[in-house]
Amino acid sequence: MYYIGVDLGTSAVKLVLMQGDGTIKNVISKSYELYFPHPGWSEQKPEDWWKATIEGLKELTAEYDKTQISGISFGGQMHGLVILDDKDEVIRPAILWNDGRTQKQTDYLNEVIGKDKLSEYTANIAFAGFTAPKILWLKENEPENFAKICKLMLPKDYIAYKLSGIFSTDYSDASGMLLLDVKNKCWSKEMLDVCGVTEDVLPKLYESYDATGTLKPEMAAELGFPETCKIVAGAGDNAAAAVGTGTVGDGKCNVSLGTSGTVFVSSERFCVDQKNALHSFAHADGCYHLMGCILSAASCNKWWVENIIGSKDYDAVLGGISELGDNPVTFLPYLMGERSPHNNPKARGMFIGMSMDTTQTQMSQAVLEGVAFAIRDSFEVAKSQGIEIERTKLCGGGAKSRIWRKIVANVLGIKVDILKTEEGPGLGAAMLAAVACGEYASVKEAADKIVEVVETIEPEREIVEKYNKQYSKFVQIYPTVKDLYEL
């Protein structure tokens, strides 16, 4: 049997066709427009997602036996606001996760409603990218559109709704709306009241591996798929990607060195750190996870190599790095502000510790180390919750750098596993579809059987000890300079 994972990203939809044993048979990507109607705004048209997805599904399966397609599931960009009217028409373009218009509403939630109350209601505090501030912005700035809302949903769930006619979402994606009581896995009545919406405009909640329905007959006919093809709830992109990397089970960890960086730690029990430095969300395996996000990771390296040094030859720039743990130069990687654990959009990057004999190689090394130290900040918060983390998967563009892999292993002081296949949320979504269709008994079984590690980087005790000393210095820099960001 075949299973399809639909990864609805910000720049493109990526579709993965997976055989039941986990073999990837085909991958297709279809791009669409991203709109910036005002400075700091970021929007897309849900209709563009739909068109690209349908075209992609047809192309993905064109050379395969479509009668064998058993299930379709989703991983998708989180936090986006999609609203439909009483005729199921899209009211306005979707406001995306990286839209910056809601700072006023975010401040209202954190400062007037209060972080303690938000954490009590939802296990999280407000960030400008979350859905609840977008709802408040719409209510204040576009009251005529707010009044038309009959269905309020997340990006991937719009595609699922169009395919099945079932109005649904999953707990992991809903966790990022600031409307979900994450601990009890239900909508927060208090937050609905704060935002001025009622539960009847929100989707029904499911576990990520639950089948919510089947293809509508007209969709099955258009695609050539069986009408019995199950539509499966799916997950937010980070939780779906975690499934695809096998980050399932208590204390499992995945570090992503993409444009931004994430630390994803799965947990069998619900937990929240006192300062809400990390997001506390539901996981796609039915349990929970903590997640830290640093806004600049591999993008720091790109900025340094391409913009500052003026090179495209990363190997040449980074090739001289060899001695780890003794670098006198330290780098704060806050080029775009910082989310975890500081939640300060005004934070900025800096080098410290240069002298007349500082070399370019030392500064290049400091960039890689600074990102690893920032990752460790979130890692330490997760450990403070009593979660034991013995090793981590490493993925994203930065994971291709062998020296960066070694730096991460030694800064975190744990084993780092490199995967054979990295297809991100699309693979995780296909695996969730396979679980829903009975191919695997659980998400953990699917992860254990499908995800394959091809290399493990071991930390070296002497280097770990040196990095522990450097990290103790790193954590003092931000508190020392943070007031300067306000000037």
Query: Does the domain formed by 246-421+452-487 have CATH 3.30.420.40?
Result: yes
All structural domains of the chain with their residue ranges: 2-238, 246-421+452-487
Q: Which element (helix H / strand E) includes 448? A: helix 443-450
Which 3-state string (H, E, C) describes 83-134? EECCCCCECCCEECCCCCCCHHHHHHHHHHHHHHHHHHHHCCCCCCCCHHHH
Q: Could you tell me the two tokens for 82?
A: 């999609």
Cα 3 to Cα 1: distance, rounded to the nearest angstrom: 7
Cα 287 to Cα 282: distance, rounded to the nearest angstrom: 6
pLDDT at residue 259 in the model: 85
Q: How do residues 421-432 score in pLDDT, each as one tens digit?
A: 888 899 999 999
Question: By C-alpha distance, which of 461, 272, 292, 270 is closest to 392?
Answer: 292
Cα 122 to Cα 120: distance, rounded to the nearest angstrom: 6
Q: How do residues 45-83 score in pLDDT, each as one tens digit?
A: 999 999 999 999 999 999 999 999 999 999 999 999 999
Give 173-221 as a DSSP string: HHGGGT-EETTTTEE-HHHHHHHT--GGGSPEEE-TT-EEEE--HHHHH
* Residue 177 assigned ligand-binding role: no
Q: Is 55 exposed, middle or buried (0-12, 13-18, 19+ CB in 10 A)?
A: middle
Residue 27, amino acid: V
Report residues of the chain scoring pLDDT below 50. Answer: none
Long-range contacts, stretch 456-462, CB < 8 angstroms, 24+ apart = 456/391, 456/415, 456/416, 456/417, 456/418, 457/405, 457/406, 457/408, 457/409, 457/415, 457/416, 457/418, 458/409, 458/415, 459/409, 459/410, 459/412, 459/413, 459/414, 459/415, 460/410, 462/325
Query: Does the domain formed by 2-238 have CATH 3.30.420.40?
Result: yes
Q: How do residues 227-277 score in pLDDT, each as one tens digit?
A: 999 999 999 999 999 999 999 999 999 999 988 899 999 999 999 988 888
Q: Could you tell me the two tokens for 415?
A: 């084993």
* Residue 79 assigned ligand-binding role: yes
Q: Could you say which DSSP state residue 295 is in?
A: S
pLDDT at residue 406 in the model: 98
Residues carrying an active site annotation: 237
pTM score of the predicted model = 0.91
Cα 399 to Cα 419: distance, rounded to the nearest angstrom: 10
The two domains 2-238 and 246-421+452-487 share their CATH topology (first three levels equal): yes
